[in-house]
Amino acid sequence: MLWIKAFHIIFMVTWFAGLFYLPRLFVYHADCHDQTGHERFIVMERKLLAIMTLGALLAAGFGLWLVAGWHWPLVEHWLQIKLALVMALILYHVQCARLVKQFRLGNNRYSGRYYRWFNEIPALLLVAIVLLAVLRPA
């Protein structure tokens, strides 16, 4: 099971790298006003979304494997809260995918300032999720 845990952590890091960087690309894209830059950001966002989605799927898959192997039935409150926060992270990921599509279609509605705030959400979730996983409060 330690191999599964290691792969879960590796792919979680991959996922979070994308979750930290993609919204930063949105900041720069929102402030970009030339066609060449716009096209460059579209490519970068699409490729990063693909890589972070792969990381998300593998992190979730290995995480579910860990839950099934070590924590089933799901009675520990810290894990229930952690999984709820992971669900919030998945919803954030879905919103990032929607934003990538809006940028691609030229329908961005938000400013760079909005995306600077939006960029902080995964950091807050990361802190809470890691603290729950390590401390396992009762």
Domain boundaries, the chain: 2-135
Q: Are 131 and 28 in contact (CB under 8 A)?
A: no
pTM for the full predicted model: 0.94
> Is pLDDT at 1 greater than 90 in this prediction?
no
| Res 12 pLDDT > 80 | yes
Average pLDDT (38-52) is 98
N-to-C CA span, the chain: 23
